[in-house]
Structure 1
């Protein structure tokens, strides 16, 4: 290592003292081991401490005109840029109360004046070693935190892709497209967000819950994978026995998600909502739905929100057995379902979101709709 590189790699010490003699002494004792920066006032010390490259250690006189050492220390410890720089007070104030005050302000150590050279050298070395260890731990913690965040993002992305792949498989079998999944997913989030301030729902719809609803919504019809093609793809009305088979897609969906959760060996929040939605999104507010014939608030909130989103999109979409409806026709039918098919308050929130829902519909429009 050449002389210039070696000097640049040395720790930097900032000495702040209004006494030229003390600055001269500090420099003479430490310059062979460290890079020394010297200033003669608290104001200059505060500025120098925040200037790159930041010092590794600050030797700070207490009694100075203008900003005292205590003032400077207090300001440095309040700043996220300089709070981790260790400070050693240089002071002739050796009373216990003086030391207590300095420690409370965040000082790492004290050196009493007149300065004892061996004490100065030893305590500077000790504090620099402690800082190096603390910096290493902070760097490691920051690395580990970033790594955890990166891996979490990867797992979330893999999870989302898997969910959409499974959901798209079910929708493809039903002559629908992946955009139905996208639209209903975004409808659900828009509705849930609008209901956050409603007195009936605010306690159940925090941001984390809405994220889980958004993630779980694509699995609402996953049970259709288990319905025979002769029924699922039938272009005309179902015979009574066929409709009974079709209705089992709710139970098939819930059971498939439950099996997946059982295989994981642990509960997963969004899968709990996915089970509610898959099993309950065909229930109706007046109790005339299926599979359980639940009514009112006995139907899980997640399923009530999904029901509005799913029916709305189904009305707007073309199917083998029907044409797509206009926005006006679809909304008229939705209004008729208030208090019968749909929770009245959720339907009212839906009606207040029509411009946003239309925007979502256009954003994820099917080319063949």
Structure 2
């Protein structure tokens, strides 16, 4: 199954090329030429999405793996992506998908209704657009979101946030939650290691926080010698505090050599611990550590009375004390996030899903 959709965001240039206005790359395309993301291509007078209805695979994951620690903790989420990416991160952990230039990568096909049906069959509370950046397959993700919302399934975007204003407004109107990958806090890093720029990502974060109802969490992968200096971490945290507020969860995760950044060592656990301490000293309430074994760095604490509210071991929730209304049972403080009745922990499982092609 393949369906090609003419996207909304494009315009013709005076020299006959068509510019894709989905993301700040502004690819200017001749007939038959693909954009930097690979899955958006000019065909005639439009830029089409060649990956509509096709995926690199589907899995049921714990929502904490996205990572989202304040969006219905313990629930399960159906995850999928396509191929390609509009960034060129040399350290990409999913490079076999995001850097793929072979359409055979898209081995699984599914309509939006098939994905919604699978969520109900497998008991997934949400669907996540992830593995590669959903911004580039926005039309497909938006159609899936509409179909999932119709049957009571939440939608989550795991994204680098590199998207233009008009597309950003339409895309995130379909999302219930987002984890935005803030790669670093310098434009030099974005240019050298990602082939992009910092400011559009900051614009997306501010937009999500102040102009939408989307639940927002942030992830920063700390790479030794690149974006792990205490000064840069403090500057980033102060920006988050000032522009997004102290209740925005921040996840520091450990780098492991991948793709074209094999000459850098893995991130020491002490670097993540120090980054968390900086963020907490700045005033952020919810700071987590990922890709390392940690209990304190995975636990949700009450920012008012400092009681343990959610204790995690890996992706498994070992202790859950939040009230159904999302408040601390000891002091009554409201905890930022989206909560409800805790139904137990999905745990550390990862379940491959095979959808019927229809």
Q: What TM-score bracket applies, with the shorter chain setting the length?
A: under 0.3
Q: Which structure: greater helix fraction?
A: 1
* Higher normalized contact order (CA 8 Å, seq sep 6+, divided by chain length): 2
Length-normalised TM-score, structure 1? 0.24
Q: Which structure: greater strand fraction?
A: 2
Higher-Rg structure is 1
